[in-house]
Structure 1
């Protein structure tokens, strides 16, 4: 299927790892010009080279801290100078293991971290990107939320609250921008085998002699920690399995879906 992405301009926050990188590679294979935005420069050379090899000769990396409004403004100012307009914004930035914990264990700083990265990071990116999206012939925004918004886990209360706010933001923004035909959607992943998840379960995986690269082993550990991790398929997902869903929603082929929240969770929503 031709998604109409040849020559399109795409910016992806958190684009150097996990679902963000897999999505960047998906866009690159369809011929889009891809910019990956991330806090650290160290991963850019390898990731950008991979994107160029995949089919995005103009791929680039821009150091961007979504928790810093000035950094976000500067990043999209750079894109304005380079491209003039933007077809697609994908927000994949989440928050780390420091915000994991039940309600009584989380102080204000943890709650601030969750909302600052998950919700406000997307707010800042959307706000800075909108002038560029409005200049494009067609434009899409895709925000990555979480299936835990619908299936709660006590240890993920701050993370899930931030993602729930992101989902609400997305739905509201879709209404605001509908008259301009800028389509805005959310994709909500279940349990995915990312480097961050592997690091989080590394100690327990090693203690049991399990394989940190095995989607079943990792999901089994996460099921014990948080519940509802296995889904109907009985394993964690792989980043490359969600990337096509994000890419489709954030493409010219999507002409009528907006304000939606797409679950990509291995069937856990039906348990």
Structure 2
């Protein structure tokens, strides 16, 4: 699964799943472009360190993906995009009749519209190169639903649908489009929620993980960012050349229920 000479752009990748995917693609030889909405010295340093660790070229491009022109600008500034990983996301929890309109608009913009914008700019680059991979980080919530997460679930379902459309539009080319649907993944953000959850329910941290956070995940284990990254590497490999327009669940059995 060598990706030497390829360039991967990963949105929302200065932490969590996006950074894990970036590391695994770089480990497989791909040059990487990290992205988030900040423009701090530590963002650029993170890219430098990643590149040094894996012996690839790595850089950071700032882009607020809630704005379509900036989402497009990330790909344009990258200049080349063989592998596009649409990962950026946020969350807000509230009943539909109380859901803030501005939060709905922001979530849809960052998690669905941004993927449209980045893909629209990346596809001509992939066609010119004669090869490309679009990997959308959806969610178990792109296939199932939960209450109080209307914007997140709508965006993830929409992302799965868009993935299928891109796959059909590129089916006769050396370009594939697939969606990875993680369940609960152990990211720094989730790790930070475990003690608070335990305290809220009067449980030990292990009980809080199994009975509350991982309630819907039959394996009762978190997926890791390395596993999500490894799945992305596989989808970029020659072994996956005829896998397109589908979803791969990395959810410990959640969607088998």
Q: Same fold (TM over 0.5)?
A: yes
The CA deviation string for residues 158-204 of structure 1, in whole angstroms up to 9 with x for no partner, is 21111001110110111011122310000100011223334455533
2:117 aligned partner = 124
Secondary structure of the residue aligned to 2:5 is coil
1:34 aligned partner = 32
TM-score (norm 2): 0.90
Secondary structure of the residue aligned to 1:179 is coil
Secondary structure of the residue aligned to 2:85 is strand
Pairwise CA RMSD? 2.1
| Cα contact 1:232–1:267 (8 A) shared by 2 | yes
183-192 or 238-247: which moved more?
A: 238-247
- Name the CA distance, whole Å, in 1 between partners of 2:134 and 2:234: 11
Spell out the pairing of 1:173-192 with structure 2 (5 A cutoff). Answer: 173-192=166-185
The 4+ residue runs of structure 1 with deviation greater than 6 A are: none
Unaligned 5+ segments in structure 1 are none
| Cα contact 1:201–1:221 (8 A) shared by 2 | no
- Name the CA distance, whole Å, in 2 between partners of 1:108 and 1:146: 23
2:90 aligned partner = 95
Paired positions, count = 255
| Cα contact 1:72–1:128 (8 A) shared by 2 | no
Secondary structure of the residue aligned to 2:26 is helix
- Name the CA distance, whole Å, in 2 between partners of 1:88 and 1:100: 32
TM-score (norm 1): 0.86
Spell out the pairing of 1:107-122 with structure 2 (5 A cutoff). Answer: 107-122=100-115
